[in-house]
Every structure is written in structure tokens, then in C-alpha cells.
Amino acid sequence: MMLSENSTIIKTKVIPVIRTGKNFDLALSSESPVIFILESTINELFTIDEKCTKISKKCFVHVELLKGLREDKEGLNFLRRFGSIMGVVSTKPGFVELAKSCGFKTILRVFLVDGAVLSNLYDVVKSCKPDFVEILPGILFEETKFLSKVLPVPVITGGLVRTEEQVRKAIEAGALAVSTSSPELWKIA
């Protein structure tokens, strides 16, 4: 795994993922200092920010799945209002570059659907310079091992991770952390 100063942001092996407020209070009580907000609305961000700020949790918001916000510089400027939002998640390399230029930490989310995605990923990461790459599904342990060695940024895995054994295998393969919407896995330190 390529370690960087960004590795210190993620201090636990498992990152809670919430969708539309579901399990949000459980995510708040987890050990993780970071929460991924995958689906939400701009109106819900006010409550999310208030609760996260009170307990010093930080959020990464998947902007493409945030209803009511455009994926542009003005949308990013709006997100600046929320002190708990430290970064954005996006599947779009161009948006990752824009978010980074606006001062956000960034996660490029990549679905490994075929060999072409895998073989082009290094060049994409080198070009858009995210702080992290999140690869999905998170149960592709051989690919995680390979990517954690060749990419210049830390790798997070997510998607289809349902057991502690899968979390352990992803970490052993080189993932910095595993993102999951399964609350029973959030207790893993």
C-alpha cells in the first residue's frame, strides 16, 4: 500500500457508509472518525453536519448521489458551508480534479467491471490525483493486492463486503480500509 499523509485521515479499518439517513445514528456511535454519505439531499446535510460537528466526525459526500446539488464549482462552494465535510467521493476523474482544486480531500470511486478499467486505472489516478481510490466490489482481493502496490495513493475497498472475514482479507490484501453499509461490521477496529 502506498502510504501518504492522507493515510492518517482514515484511522479505522472499517468506514461506515450511510444512505438517506438510514443508520446514521449508529454510524455516529461507531469508532470511525469518518463517515461516507452515499445518498442524501442538500437539506439533510444541515442535520448531518450539526450532529457530526458536535462529536468531531468528518464526512466524505458522494456528490453524484446528493440530490439538489450540481457537480460544479458552485456546488463545491456550497459544501464548504459544512464544517464536517472534509471530502468528496466521485466516479468522475474531472470532478475529482475540480474538488481537489477547491481544497477538498478526494476519493475516486472505481467499479472494476473488466480488465480495461483495471489496466487504465493507474493513468487515470496519475492524471486526476485523488487522495484515495475506492475500488468496488470490495471482495476482489487479488485486484486489491495488485492495486495497493501499484497505485500512488491508498486504496479503500467497498461494496458486497458482508463478513468480518471479508474485511480481514481486504485489509490483508493491502486496503487501507473497507467502506460498508453493514452496521454489524462498523465495530471492527
Residue 8: predicted pLDDT: 61
* Contacts for 62 with CB less than 8 Å, ≥ 6 apart: 36, 37, 38, 39, 88, 89, 90, 109
Given a cut of 60, is residue 3 above it in pLDDT? no
Compute CA distances 154 → 4, 14, 81, 129, 157, whole Å: 7, 14, 27, 11, 10
Q: Which among 120, 173, 123, 115 is positioned nearest to 152, based on CA atoms?
A: 123
For residues 154-166, give the mean pLDDT: 97
Q: What class does CATH assign to 5-185? A: alpha beta
Instruction: Write the single-letter amino acid at 39.
Output: E
Interval 65-109: pLDDT, tens = 999 999 999 999 999 999 999 999 999 999 999 999 999 999 999
Residue 18: predicted pLDDT: 95
Residue 174's pLDDT band (cuts 50, 70, 90): very high
The single residue listed with the C-alpha cell 462529536 is 55
Instruction: Write the single-letter amino acid at 9.
Output: I
- Ordered by start, the domain boundaries in the chain are 5-185
Residue 21's pLDDT band (cuts 50, 70, 90): confident
Q: Which among 34, 76, 37 is positioned nearest to 56, based on CA atoms?
A: 34
Neighbours of 131 (CB within 10 A): 23
For residues 135-153, one letter each, b for 16 or more C-beta atoms within 10 angstroms of the residue's C-beta and e for the rest, the string is bbebbbbebbbbbbeebeb
Residue 10: predicted pLDDT: 80
For residues 21-56, one letter each, b for 16 or more C-beta atoms within 10 angstroms of the residue's C-beta and e for the rest, the string is eebbeebbebebbbbbbbbbeeebbeebbeebeeee
Compute CA distances 80 → 95, 130, 159, whole Å: 16, 18, 28
